[in-house]
A and B are shown apart, each in its own frame.
Chain A
Amino acid sequence: MIPKDLKYSKEHEWIKVENGVGTVGITQYAQEQLGDIVFVELPSIGREVEKMEAVAVVESVKAASDIYTPVSGKIVEINEELNSSPNLINEDPYGKGWIFKIELKEPKELDELLSAEEYERLITEG
């Protein structure tokens, strides 16, 4: 269920890094907790952000939640598809439901994130 090749934050974001650029989304567990997502507020491209800064907002029928960036860096791409189909996050949280891409400033920060096993423990033990 929880992809092994990703890193996770305690706030339920995942990140996948390729060539110094991280793709960020929210986990299967997070989308289940939120319920049907109706709106996503995306960050602007070029914005410089610090690790754990709130950069996007996901609104479901139950609640609005901030999405935090698990690493520091510059936003280089956003998933425009989410503007018209926010439900992609529910349907495919680790794929088509990605939220933004970030150019890493401090690749070392990745070491502080959770592995798939550690994240699984977080959501099962609370």
Chain B
Amino acid sequence: MAHAHDKEIARLEEIANDIRKSIIEMLLAAGSGHSAGPLGMADFFAAMYFHVLHHNPKKPHWEERDRLILSNGHICPGRYAAMAHAGYFPKKELLTLRKFGTRLQGHPERERLPGVETTSGPLGAGLAQSAGLAYAARLDGKKWRTYCLTSDGEQEAGLHWEAALFAGKYRLANLTAFVDRNNIQIDGMTEDIMPIEPLRAKWEAFNWHVIDCDGNNMQAIIDAVHEAKAIVEKPTVIILHNIPGRGVSFMEGKFEWHGMPPNAEQAAIALRELRTLGGRIRAEHE
């Protein structure tokens, strides 16, 4: 198994922190949107855009690129922030999130912003589209891979499991799915709203290879993706156990922050925490 060097891990962690700062700034400017999910998945987005994906921010339509499908479109601030930091578009455009005329729609739309592979938001549909991409790529003998991030709430959707059946049947090993397992959804904790456990057993029963992973541990995320690439007989799902709102103490683990943005005061506290890495270092701007 390939291990990234400590230096690379440190670089990615720093990028994840920058992505978190951008997320807070974007949500404050937008005045609406989802906080917890994007923060929890900031490590994932950093890992994907800065280490895993074969892509070219200057050529978003490059045919041989890996495809990253964001099924849980509501956490798009995390993706947008990662894309801007990777060079897809100017970082200042992040502040247009959710505003009239923006390319950064409240839920992402294909064709509006180059690099956004598909329109998403209505949950349960991303894995199916990803399976279609992976199936077509294999039909054409293409090497590019398809990655799909799904939420845990979306494990309650029928379409999602139709797609899981399909990918299992056709042994789509060029497809890797991720579950943003942060245990919260809009109305509360997933296991109260509609239990999805035992999640590993469900995926295994659908003929997928399953990896449980610490979704806020950069090394663990990268190792899991490498393992998925090595599994050639079936698709792989990586369950990213993570803390929603990660990096901002008063948001961590709170489902109330699922669909809410911070106000100015809360944003200031959040940014201070992120700049100081939770008080461990002095902030530059103080």
A binds B: no
Binding site for A on B (CB under 8 A): none
